[in-house]
């Protein structure tokens, strides 16, 4: 039997402008989770920056993320400003800021049942091999899990592992996620808010491996 060589999940679009090197950039992706909060936040960021075509912060699509752990999906273009009308949107799209610094992996479908950790490991493995400096994962949490002190005031929270400098995030006015005293790890803290492989998508694994959310 022939053994299959592992393939890189990133496939470039082959356009006139190849992607800039990923080394040293920040990888931003959503977890398909409560209310699709992460996906909508990523789309909003790309769409907003796309209107600034002359700006180095504008995003352009540079490729796709191909994974056996993602459910296949195809639909009408979610961001009509970017390309010709009618261009298909698929399950894994890779966008990059023109000036570099940030690459976005937009996930438009959830993982195959039972493969959440496998997908997260694949993303983290690609990020490490490509040389990304950090992974930022946007996700939603179960509002029913909020503590009394979280019912009012800013609703945005972040979680960072020890390798990530969270000072820039804190400077935005975001608060660190209040972990219960019983939480002994990032996974347990996130799971106390329903953020797990089931409820909060794949958010917990990239954060525990090397990033923030």
Collapsing DSSP to helix, strand or coil, 120 comes out as helix
pLDDT confidence of residue 157: 81
> pLDDT tens across 151-200, in order?
787 778 877 777 777 888 888 888 877 766 566 565 565 655 555 433 44
What global pTM score does this model have? 0.79
Q: Where does the pLDDT of residue 28 fall: very low under 50, low under 70, confident under 90, or very high at 90 and above?
A: very high
Task: Tell which residue, 91, 92, 117, 106, has the closest CA to residue 201.
Answer: 117
What pLDDT does residue 198 have? 38
The three state secondary structure string of 8-42 is CCEEECCCCCCCCCCCCCEEEEECCCHHHHHHHHH
What is the share, in percent, of the chain residues with pLDDT greater than 90? 15
Among 12-16, 70-74, 111-115, 159-163, name the one with the lowest average pLDDT: 12-16
d(CA 108, CA 72): 9
């Amino acid at each position: 039997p022939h053994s299959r060589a592992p393939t890189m999940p990133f496939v470039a679009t082959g356009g006139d402008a190849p992607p800039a090197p990923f080394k040293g950039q920040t990888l931003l992706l959503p977890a398909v989770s409560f209310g699709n909060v992460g996906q909508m936040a990523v789309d909003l960021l790309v769409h907003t920056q796309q209107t600034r075509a002359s700006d180095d912060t504008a995003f352009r699509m540079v490729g796709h993320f191909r994974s056996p752990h993602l459910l296949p999906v195809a639909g009408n273009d979610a961001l009509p400003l970017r390309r010709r009308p009618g261009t298909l949107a698929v399950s894994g799209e890779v966008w990059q800021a023109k000036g570099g610094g940030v690459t976005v992996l937009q996930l438009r479908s959830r993982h195959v049942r039972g493969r959440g950790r496998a997908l997260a490991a694949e993303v983290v493995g690609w990020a490490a091999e490509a040389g990304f400096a950090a992974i930022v994962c946007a996700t939603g949490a179960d509002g029913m899990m909020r503590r009394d002190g979280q019912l009012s005031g800013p609703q945005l929270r972040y979680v960072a592992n020890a390798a990530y400098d969270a000072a820039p995030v804190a400077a935005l006015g975001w608060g660190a996620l209040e972990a219960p005293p019983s939480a002994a790890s990032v996974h347990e803290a996130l799971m106390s808010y329903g953020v797990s492989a089931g409820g909060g998508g794949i958010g917990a694994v990239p954060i525990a491996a090397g990033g923030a959310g």
